[in-house]
Amino acid sequence: MTESERPTRRRSRSRRRRRARLRRALLSALVVGSLLLAVGGWVGFRGWQARAHLLNAAGLARELSAQVVSGDTDRALRTLGALQEQSRAARSATNDPSWQVGRRTPMVGDDLDAVRQIAAAIDSLARQAFPTLLRMDLTSLVPTGGRLDLARLSGVSAELARVNESVQGTRRDLAMVPAGRLVSQVRQALVDLRGEIDRLAGLTKAVDQGARLLPPLLGASGPRRYLLVSQNLAELRATGGMFGAYAVIEAENGAVKMGKQGSTSSLGRFTPPLKVPAETRALWTDLPGIYPADVNLSPHFPTAAALYREMFRRKTGTTVDGVLAVDPVVLSYLLKATGPVLVPGGVPLASEKVVQTLLNDSYRRLDVKQQDDFFAASAAAVFDAFFKKNVNPRVLLSAFDRAITERRILFWSARPEEQRTFGDSRMAGTLPEQDTVPTVGVFLNDGSGAKLGYYLRQTANVTVGECRPDGRRELRLRVTLRSTAPKSGLTESVLGLGMAGDPYTVRTLVSIFSPAGGAVLEARLDGVETAVGSGTERRRQVATASVDVAPGAERALEVTVLTAKTGVGQAELWLTPTASPWTTQVHSAPSCEQ
């Protein structure tokens, strides 16, 4: 080989090696690409399967919920079987090796992981929580013959604790799924499921707490006494209505009876005033410590209950173990389970009419003394029906669930260890100092000195604003109040003091509570900037506006509030329970992570 031929041969060998490497690279790319296409196609197919199974499972879960509430156990068991089959198939479709590979893939991995966790959550509930709930004998949770069987209740307590633990675990798992980068369909599915699980978790927690607390509360280890107070929604207060009629409830070993009854007006006034928390006093002066009818100007029920208990002790010498508050709307729910009851004097109380009867008709036809007697007799009649009639336990529990969700049943225990068990639950009526989701409070207090609250109609809309550089978000709140009161024909007991000038005009003190750690920025009434009283309570800034509404008129209060630092795009409302339900709407926004 000549010297001139050697470089040529070397270049030729080098080109052949490069071509061989290129062929191997192309072949490898082709193999890997084919595998990725195969895996992607398989994941897509399995995703389509999972979606179909999850949609079927969601529909079956809604059917199951309705059947459980209605007590249709036979159909519920069949629905549960179908739900378990669909949820198992959805979990299987999202749990094979190809899906695990897809979860590590950029762009779609987060979505695949979220779908897998949604499927796992539904399957866990279908296999663990729902079967136990259907198997349980719910009659152990309601009284019969004036007594609650505490031994039977203790028997189901352990099962209820396991159900609650399962549901709370599922709720925690879903809360850990990051939603910011998910595609809209998956993100909405996750948000919807979280909402349903939150509601279920609230219910199972309340039932679990009830099963554990009811034995001591109902005198398993010694007699107990409580004050049952009726919140009169015709004269609004922040927690619902002015404390009107009261009754002493006595409990021992599961047996419950009603003792002394009376009206709040009989307790008189207290001078010097009882000690009121400094923040409450700054907002409402000493009024909650002077007048029993004003103890609940603040929405924080433990403060109101403790003040009322002490006032009752000073007036009567009787010390009670706690305070239970209800309103006439609660009675309308309970009467669906008990059926109509007859009040001495021949007046029937029926579910459809009891709110009108107690909050309107009674003021039109009875004088003040007769009203007090009628309210006391009505409470006793419903109490007797509740404890002595045989009622459908599922209908009754559904009524309690609705009332607690709407914050119409509130309970405070004077024993700190029991009160701590209730925590920040809706039934405790505690104004929390921290928010999971930014919560705006809209609380109403009557400023007329009248019983015109029955005629109010209310709406509240919240719109979540843009993310700010400091990590906070603005929330735009719009509250409207409309009066359906007539222009004439009402009695003096309805018109009361007429503090708005025109006795038929409803004056309402509207208090806006910012989310925890937030602030109230500005307020406008009918588009014009309006003066507000201001203060703070439990890490929330408070602005209070006085709103007068004439018969047939409507007023609009628009308030801008600021959250603490949050990336959340949702908001929640906490509203004073009223005689007529609120109309509400929350306009969410994307999270700040998106």
Q: What angle do CA 495, 230, 536 make, to 5 degrees?
A: 80
In a 3-state reduction of DSSP, which class is residue 11? helix
- Residue 529 shares a structural domain with residue 511: yes
Length of the chain: 594
Handedness of CA 488, 494, 500, 505 (dihedral sign): negative
Alpha-carbon gap, residue 204 to 55, rounded angstroms: 24
- pLDDT for the residue numbered 170: 80
Alpha-carbon gap, residue 403 to 158, rounded angstroms: 25
Residues whose CB is less than 8 angstroms from the CB of residue 433 and which lie 6 or more positions away in sequence, other chains included: 516, 538, 539
Domain C-terminal end among 217, 237, 259: 217
- Residue 197 shares a structural domain with residue 241: no
Structure tokens of 257? 């009876």
Residue pair 145/389 in contact (Cβ under 8 Å)? The answer is: no
Looking from the CA of 365 toward its CB, the CA atoms found within 13 Å total 9
- Residue 112 shares a structural domain with residue 212: yes
Looking from the CA of 141 toward its CB, the CA atoms found within 13 Å total 24
Residues whose CB is less than 8 angstroms from the CB of residue 280 and which lie 6 or more positions away in sequence, other chains included: 288, 297, 298, 300, 303, 537
In a domain, 1, yes or no: no
In a domain, 130, yes or no: yes
Q: What angle do CA 462, 468, 469 make, to 5 degrees?
A: 170
- Residue 351 main-chain phi, psi, to 5 deg: -55, -45
- Residue 210 shares a structural domain with residue 257: no
- Residue 210 shares a structural domain with residue 287: no
Provide the 10 A C-beta neighbour count for residue 525.
Answer: 20
In a domain, 52, yes or no: yes
- Residue 138 main-chain phi, psi, to 5 deg: -70, -10
- Residue 280 shares a structural domain with residue 161: no
Residue pair 507/545 in contact (Cβ under 8 Å)? The answer is: no
Tokens 């890997």 belong to 32
**Domain CATH for 552:** 2.60.40
In a domain, 545, yes or no: yes
273 prior amide bond cis, ω within 30:
no
- Residue 149 shares a structural domain with residue 59: yes
- The CA dihedral of 575, 579, 585, 591, to the nearest 10 degrees, is 20
- Structural domain boundaries, residue 134: 46-217
Tokens 């400094």 belong to 278
Domain C-terminal end among 420, 449, 469: 420
Residues whose CB is less than 8 angstroms from the CB of residue 142 and which lie 6 or more positions away in sequence, other chains included: 148, 391, 393, 396, 397
Structure tokens of 488? 């004439």
In a domain, 519, yes or no: yes
CA distances to 251, 289, 503, 567, 583 from 316, rounded to whole Å, are 19, 17, 35, 52, 41
In a domain, 425, yes or no: no
- Residue 346 shares a structural domain with residue 442: no
- pLDDT for the residue numbered 32: 34
- Residue 467's H or E segment, with its range, is strand 456-467
- pLDDT for the residue numbered 2: 55
- DSSP per-residue codes, 149-164: -HHHHHHHHHHHHHHH
Low-confidence ranges of the chain (pLDDT < 50): 22-48, 101-102, 106-108
- pLDDT for the residue numbered 132: 80
- Residue 325 shares a structural domain with residue 442: no
Structure tokens of 29? 């790319």
- Residue 409 shares a structural domain with residue 497: no
Residues whose CB is less than 8 angstroms from the CB of residue 137 and which lie 6 or more positions away in sequence, other chains included: 152, 156
- pLDDT for the residue numbered 423: 83
- pLDDT for the residue numbered 33: 33
For the chain, the average pLDDT equals: 83
Q: Where are the alpha helices (DSSP H) in 484-528?
A: 492-495
Residues whose CB is less than 8 angstroms from the CB of residue 431 and which lie 6 or more positions away in sequence, other chains included: 298, 299, 300, 441, 513, 537, 538, 540
- Residue 288 shares a structural domain with residue 397: yes
Q: Residue type at 430?
A: T
In a domain, 51, yes or no: yes
User: How many independent structural domains does the chain possess?
Assistant: 3
Provide the 10 A C-beta neighbour count for residue 230.
Answer: 26
Structure tokens of 458? 């209310």
In a domain, 273, yes or no: yes
Domain C-terminal end among 391, 420, 449: 420
Alpha-carbon gap, residue 296 to 308, rounded angstroms: 9
- pLDDT for the residue numbered 560: 97
Structure tokens of 384? 């007797």
- Residue 487 shares a structural domain with residue 553: yes
From the number of C-beta atoms within 10 Å of its C-beta (0-12, 13-18, 19+), residue 583 rates as: exposed
Alpha-carbon gap, residue 264 to 331, rounded angstroms: 19
Handedness of CA 447, 451, 456, 458 (dihedral sign): positive
Residue pair 387/144 in contact (Cβ under 8 Å)? The answer is: no
**Domain CATH for 371:** 3.40.630
